Amino acid sequence: MTLFWLLAVGLVITSLLTVTARRPVYSVVYLIANFVLLAITYVTLSAEFLGVIQVIVYASAILMLFLFVMALLSTSTAPFSVGPDRLPGIVGPAVALVAVIFGLLVYGVTRTPLLIVPRAQPVSAAPGTANAFGSTSDFGAALMTTHLLPFEVTAFVLMVAVIGVVMLASDAAPQATRHHARRRGPRTREPITRERPALEKGSVR
């Protein structure tokens, strides 16, 4: 019980700091702390495999991706120092909208029958016990037998994401000029906003 409230306070504080941090790098650091606390919360919910995944995938992989993108963005210019970060009159409407959503959430939560758990179902096993509920073997068995189709759909989603990222980030030239651009030998990195009139005529070199 004490652990839950400590985790809850830590989660809310790090979430607020993530949203209100002035620089995005600080925001990433607070978000890493938030995700580690959330991983601990997952373990207390006897979802130990997802706790590990939360640390490995979220706090490591995704947030390192954020950091790398920030490093790439801030090499040439200072893009985040342009103008105020917040719209002047957005705080009032945003707070109002958040209050409305909070009211709807409270309305829904207090009326859902799912919250009325039929009986107290304690998990007797300690975290790490094999074949208990939420253990890695239990989760893996459920993932590979009962819920095999979502697992395969996950693989498909990842493949689509890989193809999308490669198409977006590798070659920014449109499809028609890519053939000519490849003929010019080593590709020169140039801003993609610039027109390429020499390539329109089909003139080689």
Partner 1 sequence: MTPVASVALVNYIGLSALIFLIGVAGVLTRRNPLIMLMAIELMWNAANLAMLAFARAWLNNAGQVFAFLVITVAAAEAAIALAIVLITFRRTKNVDVDEIASLSG
134 binds partner 1 (CB under 8 A): yes
70 binds partner 1 (CB under 8 A): yes
User: Exposed, middle or buried by CB within 10 Å (0-12, 13-18, 19+), for 63?
Assistant: middle
Written as six digits, the tokens of 61 are: 């992989």
Residue whose token pair is 């706090």? 59
Task: Return the range that interacts with partner 1 (CB under 8 A); candidates 134-142, 180-188, 197-205.
Answer: 134-142
Cα–Cα distance for residue pair 42/162, rounded to 1 Å? 28
For partner 1, the binding residue among 33, 36, 52, 80 (CB under 8 A) is 80
Question: Which residue type, as a one-letter code, is found at position 180?
Answer: H
What track of x and - describes contact with partner 1 for positions 11 through 50 (by CB under 8 A)? xx--xx-xx-x--x--xx--x--xx--x--xx-xxxx-xx
CB of 109 to partner 1, least distance (A): 6
User: Exposed, middle or buried by CB within 10 Å (0-12, 13-18, 19+), for 13?
Assistant: middle
For partner 1, the binding residue among 55, 71, 131, 165 (CB under 8 A) is 165
By beta-carbon proximity to partner 1, the closer residue of 8 and 198 is: 8
